[in-house]
Structures are given as structure tokens and as C-alpha cells.
Amino acid sequence: MIKDYLHKEILDNSSEMEAVRSGYGEGVLEAARADKNIVVISADLTESTRVEEFSKEFPERFFQVGVAEQNMAGIAAGLGISGKVPFIASYAVFSPGRNWEQIRTTIAYNNSNVKIAGHHAGIMTGPDGATHQAIEDIATMRVMPNMKVIVPCDAEEAKKAAIASAKIYGPVYLRLCREKTAVITTPKTPFIPGKAEVFWDSSESKKRKAKRPQVCFVSAGPIIINALLAAKELEKEEIGSVVLNVHTIKPLDEKKIIEEAKKCGSIVSVEEHNIIGGLGSAVAELLAKECPVPMEFIGMRDCFGESGDPDLLIEKYGMSVKEIVKSAKKAIKRKS
């Protein structure tokens, strides 16, 4: 069942809604109050990337470079090898999209201590359309040596991720959603970079007969709410499951993923990203070597998004609760 350290009302669609990017802004500000070496560089999107309060409280540690994402990466790289802890903020299609080569050569290659916040990632950017919907950023960042990749599931986890990333030496990519989404976690929810957390486990039911899990959903980002709702639907059909929050895609929590694959016998990856190169690919690469099991993939199927209502886009591109349930049953059937 759903873990005690989560907001249980999310299963009734009655939870608080908050933008993930807002949690990021709060986290950077809190981290900066504790560490005078933290600086923020913005590419003309101060308010939208939620670093406006930082700029007001620490104007001497805030740098506005304008629409110059490549320059922003270069400046950050220099600061990152000079004792500072730079956070760079822009839309993910621009950073790490437009400035990918600068991030690779000046930041990652030098293991510079830079934190890259890619905002408005995924198709829930909605009306802005395909040009502003980063659906390949996890793939391009996780293949980069020295880079860590973290995808918070809500505002609370984004705050924790920002604070934690400031304490990790070396480049970190934080993937953040634009829209207000369900606040799933609480201040008590565990968050350790590199350690996946179980959000649902049918074998731990206290009110009814525990069900042996037959499928494990591995997910990251706000879309994990649909995995939890799918687990709830499967419960009605006496099908047990596990929902694993894999917020850190690099380094992957290999031990936990293998453990759940062995326990459940099948996997469904759920992500708001291209199914090529993202979380699902990372998990498949691991399991192909260590514990091959039937696996299905939920995400963008090698296509671009479009302008539209975020919820309708999630449904159109096959990331709805209904589609996740169907994929789970398909993966389970392949076990026999």
C-alpha cells in the first residue's frame, strides 16, 4: 500500500498542487543561506525559473546574462572550478538543450561544480508546444561523464534535491516541471541522491490481505502520480504491485532496482520523456545484464509533443493511468 510518509489524499485526487519549480527556488535560497559560495546565473528567465527571491536577497551573488545560455555555461564552469557553487537556470530546451556542447566541454569535462536546472521539461509545458517541451534531456545528460541526473517528483522533493545537489561536488542536472502538480511527498519522505524509494508496496497492506507484487513501476518526476493511481486500480483486481521512485537516474540505485525486479518479476517504466534514452532505457540496460525480466515502457514514443492542455497531452501520448494499467498487465502476462 501507499507509504505512510506520503500524502495519502493524492489517491483521491484531492492533494495540494504546487509547481515543482517553486520547490527548486525555495531549496536554492535555503542552501544559499547556509553556504556563501552559492551563486545563481540566469538566462533572462529569473521569475519563471523561480530564482527571483534569490536575486532580491543576494543581489551580489546573482548574475543575469540575458538570452545567452552558452555564455552562461562558460561563466558557471569558471566559477565552479574557483570555489563557487553556481546554479544555472533556464528552460531545459535551452539549457541543457542549446548549450549542451558548452556544458559537456567546459563543465562536465572539467568536473566543474555546477548545478544545471532545466525548467519546463516534459510535455506538461503544454501550450508552449513542441519547441519548448524537452523530452530528450535525460538522455543527453545521463550519457555525459561526471554528470549526475536528478528528477524530482514534486515541489517538496525539488526543494530537497536543490539543497542536496549543492553539497554534491561536480555537475548535477536537475529536471523540473512547469505546471502545478500534486504534492506527493512530505518533509518526512526520505530523499537521498542515488537511493530509490518505495512509494507503494501491495505486500505491506494492513487493512486487507497482502498481495504478492507481480509488477514494479519504476518512475521519476510528477508523472509518478499516475503510476500510484495505476497501482490503486490494479489493487481492485487483486493484482499486487510496487511503485519505486527513482528520482536519481544517474547514479542509478542498481541494488534496489534489481531487488524489486527479482521480487516482482516484471517492470514498467513510467516517465514524461522519450522512451529512448531515458529512465526506462537506464533500467533496461541494468536488468539486461543483471536480472532480465519482461519490461514495458510508458513515455513519449519517439515523437515530438504539441501545444495543448497538459492533462490532455498526457492522455494523448499514452501516459494515462489507463495505459499504465494496460502495460502492467502486458508485462505480467509475458512472465508466463
Taking Cα atoms as reference points, which of 269, 265, 304 lies closest to residue 285?
Answer: 269
What is the residue-averaged pLDDT of the chain? 96
Fold match, 8-14+187-333 / 18-182? yes
What single DSSP character describes residue 85?
Answer: E
**Checking DSSP bridges between strand 85-91 and strand 38-42, what pairing results, if any?**
parallel
> In degrees rounded to 5, what are phi and psi of residue 130?
-60, -35
pLDDT at 207: 61
Instruction: Please give the model's pTM, rounded to 2 decimal places.
Output: 0.96
Taking Cα atoms as reference points, which of 98, 242, 243, 107 lies closest to residue 171?
Answer: 107
Architecture of the domain spanning 18-182: 3-Layer(aba) Sandwich (3.40)
Confidence grade of residue 86 (pLDDT, cut at 50, 70, 90)? very high
pLDDT at 204: 81
pLDDT at 210: 65
Q: What stretches of 151-222 adopt beta strand conformation (E)?
A: 172-175, 180-182, 197-201, 213-219
Confidence grade of residue 198 (pLDDT, cut at 50, 70, 90)? very high
> In degrees rounded to 5, what are phi and psi of residue 294?
-55, 140
CATH 3.40.50.920 fits 8-14+187-333, yes or no: yes
Cβ pair 149, 248 in contact under 8 A: yes
pLDDT at 206: 64
Place of cell 502476462: 333
- Give domain limits for the chain: 8-14+187-333, 18-182
The SS3 assignment for 160 reads: helix
pLDDT at 211: 75
The one-letter code for the residue type at 329 is K
**Checking DSSP bridges between strand 248-250 and strand 148-150, what pairing results, if any?**
antiparallel
Distances (CA, A) of 167 to 133, 152, 235: 29, 17, 40
End-to-end CA distance of the chain: 25
CA–CA gap between residue 314 and residue 225 (Å, rounded): 12
> Using DSSP, how many helices (H) and how many strands (E) does the chain show?
11, 14
Count CB-CB contacts under 10 A for residue 227. 31
Q: What percent of the chain has pLDDT over 70?
A: 98
Average pLDDT over residues 142-164: 98
Residue 209: pLDDT over 90: no
Cβ pair 265, 214 in contact under 8 A: yes
Residue 128: pLDDT over 70: yes
Residue 126: pLDDT over 90: no
